[in-house]
Chain A
Amino acid sequence: MESSSKVIHAIYTDDDVLMSAVKKVRAEKHHIEEVYTPFPVHGLDKAMGLAPTRIAIAAFIYGCIGLTVAITMMNFIMIEDWPQNIGGKPSFSYIENMPAFVPIMFELTVFFAAHLMVITFYLRSRMWPFKNAENPDPRTTDDHFLMEISVHGNEAELEQLLKETGAVEINIVNKDEAH
């Protein structure tokens, strides 16, 4: 299909205008492919109807893994493998010497939770060094906002709608040239 390979780019210069435009376009049941903004616009995800992130749940699980690693590691090294008497610390069982292990347990929990969460974020949002920037218009990193809507043969109607929402510039581009 020829029409579906085209997208419409509506450019705005104000985040409040953008927000009301997003709400209007969604109310008209058009699918918004993407919105590009130079900074986080509060409430934009809700207006676009994006599902909430689950990264906090992932972080909690990573933290639990970190805690388990810390406990298993120190239990093996300090209690099972070579239970030395170091300065009179009781190394008979893990629980007896636990206060001394808490700083490491804490730090490893935080370390795992933080780093694995960040790596998860990079993977899920496809960010890495030498990655080609997916930027339809360099102005969106400075002071412009861009809404991308796929076109299904309703170009004129969409264009009219976007004009009404206060778009300062409307371009129709082929999808493969879009980025």
Chain B
Amino acid sequence: MYTFSNRLKTFSIALMIIGAIGVVIGFMTSHKSFEEVEAIVAAESAHHGGGHDAEAAHVAPAASHDTHAAEGHAGEEVHHEDAHKKHIEHVQHQIANRPWSALYVAAFFFMMIALGALAFYAIQFAAQAGWSPVLFRVMEGITAYLLPGAIIVVLIGVASGTIGHYNLFVWMDPEVVANDKLIQGKAGWLNTWGFAIRGFIFIAGWSLYRHFARKFSIAQDNADDNKNFKKSFRISAAFLVFYIYTESMMSWDWIMSVDPHWFSTLFGWYVFASMFVSAITVIAMITLYLKNKGLLPFVNDSHLHDLAKFMFGISIFWTYLWFSQFMLIWYSNIPEEVTYFVTRLEDYKLPFLGMVAMNFLFPLLLLMNSDYKRIPWFVVMAGVVILAGHYLDIFNMIMPATVGDRWFIGIPEIGSILLFGGLFIFVVFTALTKAPLLAKGNPYIKESEHFHY
């Protein structure tokens, strides 16, 4: 049995407290009055050396609020004051969105690690993998974060449209919908009740599988037959079917709908690749942490090698999907689709291209060598970069739609990462203490213990 060391517990609680302070500071500093924003914008345009031209140009790239932008352009001469007011309000809204988005990105990032680990776990059962059963308890520990994590994501989403001022999803704002034919056409799917109910169904389905898989896995430890394992096998196969549908819909709801004018068909797969590689990385890192403490004597470097191969392979799979989505849209250059990448390339050049280096080039060159995949510090180093890269990936999906060019990785963002990172560590390591770290009843456990590559 694993005991949650006091040092790690204190560390996770400290992370949560520091993070919470950062989040509170973020919310307190984001409520600027009209005059304050006016002063900020005036200072900026003075700095850029432009007058109203620069301001108008500022409005244009904000694709998510193009109703505002269009009005701002049309009435520039006649309704000069009006356009100015619209622009300041627009910037004011972006500044107010930042702590919400920061919180949402971090919440989603840690939730997707747990969800990806659950999918990986189910695949191991459905494929009857012989190498991975020694890692099952680590995976079960990580998936314990799924229920709280996913509820937090949906709550932030709903709260942004109820207690907040539509800070994440513009389609929740009845005023925006009233002036927007495109969103009106999608209102059958994109409405707050639909969002909440679908979120509930997704979370219920995932958590039910997680609950029963864990229950059968623990019951199997002391069973004389393989009945529990067979049940796990069956529900895993069923879950994977459910998962691939709900994951796709989840990605439309929770991520793609921040840009309600934009759509992409392979988006669900793309989000899946991101969560899958992050989850495998976290499985590898927690395994290494526990092994380092001498708690997983049955895990050998061949298991690590296999995990690192998955990290390598799925990183390339992610890049394949990223590039396929980017290149198809770049190549055809249809205005209604391409604005998505125009805003990202104009305002997010460093995070947008930096994540490709972090998620592709770095793991490609580092984890290609077979010997390096067995060296723990190499895998951890690659893992840290992969995780940071996939945080940036989620950041690049959410932020351009909510804060536009007013992004920065500062106190609200780092605070949110620390808050949910601390919660993640707390929940995962608490779950690890609940059961022995070797799933000894699994019929493949002997094969897994002697796994050698």
Mark A residues whose CB is within 8 Å of B.
56, 60, 88, 99-100, 102
Contact = CB atoms under 8 A, between A and B. Distances in A.
A102 B327 contact: yes
B289 interface: no
A56 B326 contact: no
Given A99-B326, A100-B331, 5 more contacts: A99-B323, A99-B330, A99-B331, A100-B327, A102-B323
A88 B368 CA distance: 38
12 contacts: A56-B370, A60-B368, A88-B333, A99-B323, A99-B326, A99-B327, A99-B330, A99-B331, A100-B327, A100-B331, A102-B323, A102-B327
A60 B372 CA distance: 15
Nearest to B326: A99
The 8 closest A-B pairs by CB, nearest first: A99-B327, A99-B330, A100-B331, A102-B323, A102-B327, A99-B331, A99-B326, A60-B368
Nearest to A89: B331
B258 to A, nearest CB: 24
Interface in B281-335: 323, 326-327, 330-331, 333
Interface of A, secondary structure class, is helix
What's the dominant secondary structure at chain B's contact region?
helix
Contacts of B333: 88
Interface of B: 323, 326-327, 330-331, 333, 368, 370
A100 B330 CA distance: 9
A137 B331 CA distance: 60
A61 to B, nearest CB: 12
A100 B328 CA distance: 9
A100 B326 CA distance: 11
Contacts of A60: 368
Nearest to A43: B452
A67 B327 CA distance: 19
Nearest to A56: B370
Contacts of B327: 99-100, 102
A147 B197 CA distance: 70
Contacts of A56: 370
Nearest to B365: A60
A56 B327 CA distance: 30
A56 B373 CA distance: 15
Contacts of B330: 99
Contacts of B368: 60
Q: Which of A56, A60, A99, A102 has the most CB of B within 10 A?
A: A99
A99 B331 CA distance: 8
A45 to B, nearest CB: 15
Contacts of A100: 327, 331
B311 to A, nearest CB: 18
B452 to A, nearest CB: 10
Nearest to B323: A102
Contacts of A99: 323, 326-327, 330-331
A100 B327 CA distance: 7
A173 B28 CA distance: 91
Contacts of B326: 99
B59 to A, nearest CB: 26
Nearest to A88: B333
Contacts of A102: 323, 327
A99 to B, nearest CB: 5
Nearest to B329: A99
Nearest to A57: B369
B410 to A, nearest CB: 30
B423 to A, nearest CB: 39
A149 to B, nearest CB: 29
B451 to A, nearest CB: 14
A99 B330 CA distance: 8
A60 B370 CA distance: 13
A88 B370 CA distance: 44
A88 B330 CA distance: 12
A99 B333 CA distance: 12
B285 to A, nearest CB: 26
A70 B333 CA distance: 25
Nearest to A99: B327
B145 to A, nearest CB: 36
A72 B120 CA distance: 41
Contacts of B323: 99, 102
A88 B331 CA distance: 10
A54 B368 CA distance: 14
A56 B326 CA distance: 31
B157 to A, nearest CB: 33
A87 B327 CA distance: 15
B28 to A, nearest CB: 43
A85 to B, nearest CB: 14
A100 B329 CA distance: 11
Contacts of A88: 333
A145 B26 CA distance: 73
Nearest to B370: A56
A99 B368 CA distance: 24
A56 B371 CA distance: 12
A88 B326 CA distance: 17
B387 to A, nearest CB: 26
A88 B327 CA distance: 15
